[in-house]
Amino acid sequence: MLRHEQVSETIAHMITSGALSPGDKVPSLRKMSQDAGVSISTVSQAYINLEHQGVLEARPQSGFYVTEHAVDTPQAPEMKTTAAEPCCIPFRDLYNTIFSLAGRSDIVPLGAAVPSTSLLPVKGLLRATRRIMTEEPERVVSYAFPPGVRELREQIALAYTRMNTKVDVDQIIITTGATEALALGLQTVTRPGDVVAVESPTYFSVLKLMQQLGLMAVEVPTDPETGMDLDALDQIMETSDVKAVITVPNFQNPLGFTMPDENKQRLVEMLTARSVPLLEDDIYGDLHFGDRRPSPCKRFDTKGIVISCGCYSKNIAPGYRVGWVVPGRYYKEVLERKQAFNSATPTLTQLAVAEFLKSGEYERSLKRIRAALKREVGWVRHMICQHFPSETKVTNPAGGFILWVELPSNVSGRDLFDEALKKNISVTPGVLFSSLRHYRNCIRINCGYDQDTVKEDTFITLGKLIKKLALGK
C-alpha cells in the first residue's frame, strides 16, 4: 500500500470507529505528518483524494472536515434466488447498443466495462511491440500454434506462482481473450441442454455464450460481498444435475465481490467431490485496491477440476486480445478445440505482451491504474450518495472498476438507460445480467473511464432522471 493510502485508511478507520464524526475537523497536515511519520505532501495527497471521494471537505483558511455524507455507507443490494431455466439473454439488441456506445466520444461512458486508454500503458506496450518486430520480424508473421508463444506462457506461469498457485508453463493455452478461454472450456465440459450454475447477477457475456451453446442456467444466490452462496449451490446440486459452475471470483462483474479464500477452497472441494468442473474467469484480480492480490480458485485445485481463465484486456490492452486458459484435467480436449476453432491466436500481440511483462513495466503501470480506479470508484460512490435518491443501494468493491446500483424498486434500469442516452450518458441496465430478467431496478456503472470525461454534472443529471422515474413521470 502506498503511504498516502495508509493515511487515507487511518482517517477512514477514525470515522468508522467514531473517533471522528461528520463535521469534525481532521488532524492538520502538520500533525498527521508527524503522527504517521510521512511527509506533509503525502498527507495532503491523501486528504485531497478523500475530498474527491466525498469523505472530507476543505474549508478555506481552516482545514479539512469530515463531510455529512462520510458515514452514509450505502447498503449493499439484495440477493436473488432462482431455478434452472434455458439460458437466454434478454434484449439482445441492447447488448449490441451497449458496445457500440463504448466507441462514441460524444457519450459519457458509464456503460460498457471497457477501461479507458488513458488508464492503460499504451506507450510502453507499443514500445515493446516495436522492439519485438525489430528483433523477430519473421517470427511475428509466422504461426504460433497452440498452446501458443512460450515466453508468454512463462510470464503467466510466473504470475500464478506469485499468487501461491502452482501452474506449469505446459498447462497453459493462449487464447484470443478470456471470453475465448471460457468458451473453449465450457464447450469442452458441456453438451447442449446441460445445466450450468452461475452467479446471480452474472456478466451478460457469460449468458450470451451459454445461450449460443444451448445450455440451461441455474442462477445461484450471490452475496454482494462474499459471492456465491455455497449452501444454496450445494442444495441446487443435490436436486439438479449441474455439469459445470462458472464464477468470477475476484471483483466480480457486476457485483464487485471477492470470494474469501475459505469460500474458494470450499467451492473447489465441493466440486472436486462431485467431479464437476469449475470455470473461473479471473480477469479483474490484478486490479486490487488493497495490498494483496486475491487468490484464484485454481490455488485450491488439487485434482485439476478448475478451468482457470484470464486475460490482459482490463489492464494492458483490450484490443490485443491476449488471454489464456489453464484447463487442468481437460487440457488435451481444450487444446484440440482451440486448434479446431481458429488454429492459433495472433503471434505479434502474444510476443508483444510477453515482452511488456518481462520488462517489468506491467507491475509499475498497475500501481498507477489501481490508484486511479480506487479513487474513481470512491468518487462515484460518493456522487451516488449525494445525488441519487436515499433508498439507492450501491456495492463497495475492493478492486476493479464496476459498481452495481440498486435503484428505488419502482424505477426501471431499462427506462433509465433510455432517458440517460437522450442526455448522452450510457449506463448498463441490470436486466442484462440475469437470464430470468431479475434486477429490473438495477444498473451497472463503469468507473474505468477517462477522468476528463466524467464530471459531477453527470450524476446530478442521472439523479434527477431517477427521481423523475420514481415519481412515474
Residue whose C-alpha cell is 503501470: 365
Shortest Å, Cβ 349 to its own copies: 5
Shortest Å, Cβ 232 to its own copies: 27
Q: Which residues bind its own copies (CB under 8 A)?
A: 92, 95-96, 99-100, 102-103, 114, 117, 120, 122-123, 125-126, 129-130, 133, 137-145, 175-177, 179-180, 183, 191-192, 205, 208-209, 211-212, 317-321, 336-337, 339-349
Residue 209 or 384 with smaller CB distance to its own copies: 209
- CA angle, corner 404, sides to 378 and 248, nearest 5? 100
User: Regarding beta strands 108-109 and 425-426, do their DSSP bridges make them parallel or antiparallel, or are they unpaired?
Assistant: parallel
Residue 91 or 341 with smaller CB distance to its own copies: 341
Residue 53 or 202 with smaller CB distance to its own copies: 202
Instruction: To the nearest 10°, report the CA torsion of 179, 185, 188, 193.
Output: -70
Backbone φ and ψ for 326, nearest 5 degrees, come out as -110, 95
Neighbours of 316 (CB within 10 A): 27
* Gap between the Cα atoms of 397 and 368, Å rounded: 18
Residue 186 or 276 with smaller CB distance to its own copies: 186
Shortest Å, Cβ 143 to its own copies: 5
Neighbours of 295 (CB within 10 A): 21
Burial 421-442 (b: 16+ CB within 10 A, else e): eeeebbbbbbbbbbbbebbbbb
Residue 224 or 346 with smaller CB distance to its own copies: 346
Shortest Å, Cβ 183 to its own copies: 5
Shortest Å, Cβ 286 to its own copies: 17
Shortest Å, Cβ 159 to its own copies: 20
- Note if the bond before 254 is cis, omega within 30 degrees: yes
Q: How many CA atoms lie within 13 A of 92 on its CB side?
A: 8
Residue 291 or 452 with smaller CB distance to its own copies: 452
DSSP letter assigned to residue 112: S
Shortest Å, Cβ 209 to its own copies: 5
Helices 204-212 and 178-189: angle between axes, nearest 10 degrees: 40
Amino acid at 355: E
Residue 268 or 402 with smaller CB distance to its own copies: 402
User: Regarding beta strands 402-406 and 442-446, do their DSSP bridges make them parallel or antiparallel, or are they unpaired?
Assistant: antiparallel
